[in-house]
Amino acid sequence: MSKQREELEHRLKLRNIKLSDYEDIREIMVSIYKNQGGAWTKAELKNQLKAFPEGQICIEDNGVVIAAALSIVVDYSKFGDNHTYDQITGFGKFDTHDDDGDTLYGTDVFVHADYRGMRLGRRLYDARKELCENLNLRSIIAGGRIPGYSKYADEMTPRKYIDLVKNREIFDPVLSFQLANEFHVRKVITKYLPEDTDSRAYATLLEWINIYYEKDEKLIGNKKSIVRLGLVQWKMRRFSNVDDLMQQVEFFVDTVSGYKSDFCLLPEFFNAPLLAEFNDMEASEAIRNLADYTDEIVARMSELAVSYNVNIVAGSMPEYDGKKLRNVSYLCRRDGTQNKQYKLHITPDEAAYWGLQGGNGIHVFDTDAGRIGILICYDIEFPELGRILAEQEMDILFVPFWTDTKNAFLRVNTCARSRAIENECYVAITGSVGNLPKVENMDIQYSQAAIFSPSDFSFPHDAIVAQASENEETIIVADVDLDLLTKQRKAGSVRNLEQRRLDLYSVQWKQKKQ
């Protein structure tokens, strides 16, 4: 791994706060609230954790807390809308927490200055929403500062200011963020935090309604049931450099993330347009030069995964270590960690033009949204690989591909549908469209992205969850239900995995070093 990639790698973890995190939390609070009283004492944090440990959430990076959100449960009728921060939090001791309350009250959210722009606040808000749903609480309520108001206080009322922020005429660093996270303003309250001079002691009383109220849900941290997949059907176009390429990648990652997808899948060799820079070289030399960009692209892709809170299956790219040229797909998780899967089977064309060699290992990867496998293009045409992954309890199989003609595409498509049925899993495929004139061996493209399911009563009648239009640049976003896979494997009309005749045959992996 390059030095650049080591420096950029994060290991983000969402968890509950511990008392041993105090010094990390204190450092952030002192920096942010130096004009509003600074940090809590360690004794205050101890009381908060004792009162409601499940509501005190943080994000750590490589073991250091870099963001946190705190909350309590209250019987809101005891306080009403005209409360102050000190009243509802018991002057920060959280002795107002009520296990039998009906409302999750957000007391604070803060992010270390070095981690601004990574959308960690949104993750904390999402965790709060999940906690509210899983505790079966009516809503989340919070008093929100409006620090930008001080610039306009002499010319407009707080109500007018809030209306302009809602209409995006004015940006407020706190209120704009809260509105973007599906909170609405119930009213304006006064003297909420008297020491908050930037807000002129005003605050917004914000609410997020739990539409699942009265349902019995699990607490945060358990395996997701509904997983949202975002597939990018990528158009090949000329890019002058890596920055141009990554600008287009970020556009699609941003779009997929905007639909709150858990995964974003890109095609095989999505970075092929950069080959145009090496048109004067032999094909084998050009692809090795393209491999020089892989480390940089993976590092930047990992940053996008963290920043946009989506696990990225980064298509595939060439990797060259001076001895072997291989085709590799990177899994860039949204917690900052990475894994990779090599293409195992090399087509005759890839071997002849480029001298590609196959990898020697196959893996199932754990993620926060299920166990996944990755098979690059031609590999999906070998049923043994899907079966080996299924035996390791894979839920979703991702297949980034590149095909030039319809008959080549149909091989990938048909085999992917077969893998979904025979292995009782979801299979997501996507490729590239368009043309790349004068880029040898990558000049034409054919694709129709799709998500396939097993074929039984619980799934779509044609076993197609979603499917893109042929040969058009687009995305498809769809939900898959992992609980249905469990149901299929245990009670389906047919049960391909359970009813194999292992007394007659088996598929074995002959272990070899990667």
Q: What is the pLDDT of residues 19-52, one digit of tens each?
A: 999 999 999 999 888 766 678 899 999 999 999 9
400 burial type by CB count under 10 A (0-12 exposed, 13-18 middle, 19+ buried): buried
For residue 47, what is the enclosing H or E element?
Answer: helix 42-51
Rounded distance between C-alpha atoms, residue 224 and residue 73, angstroms:
24
Q: Which of 209, 236, 266 is the last residue of a domain?
A: 209
Q: Are residues 83 and 186 in the same domain?
A: yes
- Strand, helix or coil at 215? coil
pLDDT of residue 158: 87
In a domain, residue 319? The reply is: yes
Whether 442 and 436 have beta carbons less than 8 Å apart is answered as yes
Exposure on the CB side of residue 239, measured as CA atoms within 13 A: 18
Residues 203 and 277 in one domain: no
- Chosen domain end from 209, 237, 260: 209
Q: Answer yes or no: do 297 and 240 share one domain.
A: yes
Report if residue 1 sits inside a domain.
Answer: no
User: Could you tell me if 166 and 258 lie in one domain?
Assistant: no
**Residue for token pair 């509904």:** 226
Give the domain CATH number at 198.
Answer: 3.40.630.30
**What single-letter DSSP state applies at residue 320?**
E
Sign of CA dihedral 82, 86, 92, 97: negative
Domain with 441 in it: what CATH number?
Answer: 3.60.110.10
| Beta-bridge mates of residue 58 | 15, 68
Residues 252 and 349 in one domain: yes
What pLDDT is attached to residue 39?
Answer: 84
144 assigned to some structural domain: yes
pLDDT at 2: 43
Same domain assignment for residues 319 and 421: yes
Same domain, 64 and 143: yes
Give the CA dihedral 29, 32, 38, 44, nearest 10 degrees: -30
> Are the C-beta atoms of residues 471 and 446 closer than 8 Å to each other?
yes
Same domain, 411 and 447: yes
Output the pTM of the full model: 0.77
For the chain, which ranges sit under pLDDT 70?
A: 1-8, 35-37, 215-223, 440-441, 512-514
| Inside any domain, residue 122 | yes
Report the pLDDT value the prediction gives residue 214, as an integer from 0 to 100: 74
CA distances to 35, 36, 121 from 196, in Å: 8, 6, 21
Q: How far apart are CA 514 and CA 511, in angstroms?
A: 9
Let me know whether 138 and 237 are in one domain.
Answer: no
Dump the DSSP string for 106-147: EEEEEE-GGGTTS-HHHHHHHHHHHHHHHTT-SEEEEEE--G
Vertex 133: Cα angle to 128 and 137 (nearest 5): 95
Residues 178 and 236 in one domain: no
Residues comprising the chain, all counted: 514
CA 498 to chain CA centroid, Å, is 32
**Number of folded domains that form the chain:** 2
Q: Are the CB atoms for 514 and 361 separated by under 8 Å?
A: yes
314, 361: one domain: yes
User: Residue 332 has what pLDDT?
Assistant: 97
Q: How far apart are CA 510 and CA 514, in angstroms?
A: 12
Residue 214 in any domain: the answer is no
Amino acid, res. 324: K
* pLDDT score, position 221: 59
Residue at 156 is within a domain: yes
The confidence score (pLDDT) of residue 149 equals 87
* DSSP three-state, residue 360: coil
Task: For residue 93, tell me if it sits in a domain.
Answer: yes
User: For residues 460 and 438, is the Cβ–Cβ distance under 8 A?
Assistant: no
185 with 322, same domain: the answer is no
Domain ranges, residue 396: 226-491
E strand or H helix at 265 = strand 263-265
Strands (E), 134-247: 139-144, 184-190, 202-209, 226-235
Is residue 451 situated within a structural domain?
Answer: yes
Catalytic residues: 268, 343, 377
